[in-house]
Amino acid sequence: SDGARADIVRSHESFDPLRDPQMRPTPFQAYVRIQIGCDKFCTYCIVPMVRGPEQGRPPEQIIAEARTLVDQGTKEITLLGQTVNSYKYGSGGETTRLADLLYRLHDIDGLERIKFVTNYPKDMTDELLSAVHELAKCSPYLHVPAQSGSNRVLERMKRGYTVEDYREMMQRIRQLVPESAVTSDFIVGFCGETEEDFQQTVELVQEFRFKNSFIFKYSERPGTKGADLYEDDVPEDVKRRRNNELLAVQNKISEEENLRFLGRTEEVLVEGLSKNAVKRGDIDGPIVQLTGRTHCDHIVVFDGNPRQIGQLLPVAIYDTRAFTLFGTVVTEHVGPELFSLQTSV
């Protein structure tokens, strides 16, 4: 009915669990939903049927919410949308897009970092990429799901782009945001995926060398077009093998790519105690193991003081793994004649 439709359209204005402080990753990081719904209708996804068409929130609402969060101590905001880079809001003959929103958020005093997920390949405009490069607060971290390296599978998924389209987008990202870190999503074992299709996905991951990839085994969702149109015909053991194989390829790439951070100093937003510190119970000493993230969203572990949680600190990287960088906080010591940078132990 029209009434129910209106309720859905206005649903993000009333209740949004992301606004609950308990939903924040830390007291100084927050999510802000800028869009609900989706117009893409991928055959494996239920979102368009459940959430309705894509709608962007009014930019004034988003800016006001961001200012409130910053007043409460938030330093990093992550903008959320099913296809966040498709964001647009029209009013008074003007259309606000994600790039415009980033420029407005960038002007908020006290906001240190801005991220946005998840992106849709066909809506990755030069205007948006230029904004990411130009705006110092905007993290050059782009999560752009590819889902498959096979055009045949992408067509069955109804993703709306080809591998060639994705490659063209990646070339523009590398050109316009050379400092970027790109992550992706993949579904293995989608209906009708052959061994050749899967190997094309492996080749795509090897070509683009993502910072990280989130890999999922396909499982049929009732109510999706895929469930109606296609048979879930890839055996579970084949899905598991492909999942593990693709994960191994990605992990090797992540480990190799992280080596370039050795010896570099990265600005890290300190998020809290590391998982190991909590596991060991080393949580209240003068020196504890802390964890944080670089501007490009790399996880960094280092020794520090609990008072440093919530701060942006320079950290010198001395070791790397596939998922983690290890570092030491760089402290400034004032000498009698000059400022010198030394690495604290």
pLDDT of residue 84: 98
Which one, of 152, 151, 82, lies nearest residue 118 by Cα?
A: 82
Structure tokens belonging to residue 69: 């969060």
Distant-in-sequence, close-in-space partners of 11: CB < 8 Å, separation ≥ 6: 36
Question: Which residue in this structure is represented by tokens 């992106």?
Answer: 119
With helix as H, strand as E and coil as C, how does the chain read? CHHHHHHHHCHHHHCCHHHCHHHCCECCEEEEECEECCCCCCCCCCHHHHHCCCEECCHHHHHHHHHHHHHCCCCEEEEECCCHHHCEEEECCEEEEHHHHHHHHHCCCCCCEEEEECCCHHHCCHHHHHHHHHCCCECCEEECCCECCCHHHHHHHCCCCCHHHHHHHHHHHHHHCCCCEEEEEEEECCCCCCHHHHHHHHHHHHHHCCCEEEEEECCCCCCCHHHHHCCCCCCHHHHHHHHHHHHHHHHHHHHHHHHHHCCCEEEEEEEEECHHHHHHCCCCCCCEEEEEECCCCCEEEEEECHHHCCCEEEEEEEEECCCCEEEEEEEEEECCCCEEEEECC
Confirm whether pTM is higher than 0.85: yes
Contact, 67 vs 73, CB < 8 A? no
Residue of 182, 139, 180 lying closest to 268 (CA atoms): 139
Nearest to 329 by CA among 310, 313, 305: 313
Length of the chain in terms of residues written: 345
Distances in Å between the Cα of 57 and the Cα atoms of 85, 162, 321 are: 13, 30, 39
Bond from prior residue into 183 cis (ω within 30 degrees of 0): no
Contacts of 88 (CB under 8 A, 6+ apart): 56, 95, 96, 97, 98
In which residue are the tokens 């190997």 written?
199
Per-residue pLDDT for the chain (345 aa), expressed as one digit of tens each? 333 434 434 444 444 666 666 668 899 999 999 999 999 989 999 988 888 899 999 999 999 999 999 999 999 999 999 999 999 999 989 999 999 999 999 999 999 999 999 999 999 999 999 999 999 999 999 999 999 999 999 999 999 999 999 999 999 999 999 999 999 999 999 999 999 999 999 999 999 999 999 999 999 999 999 999 999 999 999 999 999 999 999 999 999 999 999 999 999 999 999 988 766 766 677 889 999 999 999 999 999 999 999 999 999 999 999 999 999 999 865 444 444 444 444
User: Rounded CA gap, 242 and 248, in Å?
Assistant: 10
Q: Alpha-carbon distance 332 to 340, whole Å? A: 6
- Identify the pLDDT of residue 345: 40
Q: What is the pLDDT of residue 332?
A: 67
Residues 149 and 187: beta-carbon distance below 8 Å: no
